[in-house]
A and B are shown apart, each in its own frame.
Chain A
């Protein structure tokens, strides 16, 4: 049982490049979330999904797109990376709104130069 797996773990991008971060969970969780963590800012919600085929914007969605074509995968895309997107990205999942547990991935450290 792997839990929540994020790939890649580290990445350096040049400004304007694109990339996709993958979050995969094997727990049959309905809800999935993408956060970014910046020093002194806590974790801020980028996008979330309440089920396969659904996505919605969180607090800081600009510059990001997401997709959830399969229940187990939640993809975060950067179409044209900017230095302001340098951050640590965490994915999390939860079984349902009634369930009180959240499982976090190990994070992706992204640097945009």
Chain B
């Protein structure tokens, strides 16, 4: 069974600072996903990483994938308040109908 672990679970950072969220997964997953969730809302897709070494960037967020280390990272550059949200990584479980297995999420608060 695919297990996904994120750290940290809570992150408070100042505007303008950089930080990285880590996502480890236990077995092979052919794809790795990052989502954002605002309070009371559904999940918003941020990135889909398909292969080893994949790197994707959107604004102040950059995601990367190392399949050999079973590690994905979400790097935040020069954080702004609008990035405050909960971020989830998820791997695809081929043994459960290709369902996404989620980490517990990282609750990010960006303060002035």
Specify which of A35, A56, A102 lies most central, judged by the most chain B CB atoms within 10 Å of its CB. Answer: A102
Chain B contacts for A97, CB-based, 8 A: 94, 98
Tell me if B97 and A33 are in contact (CB < 8 A): yes
Tell me if B98 and A31 are in contact (CB < 8 A): yes
Interface size on A, residues (CB 8 A): 26
Tell me if B88 and A58 are in contact (CB < 8 A): no
Q: How far is A23 from B53 in the complex, measured between Cα atoms in Å? A: 36
Determine if B63 is an interface residue (Cβ-Cβ < 8 Å).
no
With A56-B96, A58-B96 as known contacts, state yes or no: A42 contacts B103, CB within 8 Å.
Answer: yes
Tell me if A45 and B101 are in contact (CB < 8 A): yes
Determine if B108 is an interface residue (Cβ-Cβ < 8 Å).
no
Determine if B48 is an interface residue (Cβ-Cβ < 8 Å).
yes
Other-chain contact of B9, A40, A44, A104 (Cβ < 8 Å): A40
Q: How far is A106 from B102 in the complex, measured between Cα atoms in Å? A: 17
- Residues 36-57 of chain A, each 1 if its beta carbon lies under 8 Å from chain B, else 0: 0000111111001110000010
Chain A contacts for B90, CB-based, 8 A: 43
Tell me if B42 and A42 are in contact (CB < 8 A): no
Determine if B14 is an interface residue (Cβ-Cβ < 8 Å).
no
With A41-B104, A43-B88 as known contacts, state yes or no: A106 contacts B97, CB within 8 Å.
Answer: no
Q: How far is A90 from B104 in the complex, measured between Cα atoms in Å? A: 15
Chain B contacts for A50, CB-based, 8 A: 97-98
**A interface residues (Cβ-Cβ under 8 A, vs B):** 31, 33, 35, 40-45, 48-50, 56, 58-59, 90, 92, 94, 97, 100-102, 104-107
Pick 17 A–B contacts, CB within 8 A, sort by A: A40-B104, A40-B105, A43-B90, A43-B100, A45-B96, A45-B101, A56-B97, A59-B96, A90-B43, A97-B98, A100-B31, A100-B48, A101-B45, A102-B33, A104-B42, A106-B42, A107-B42
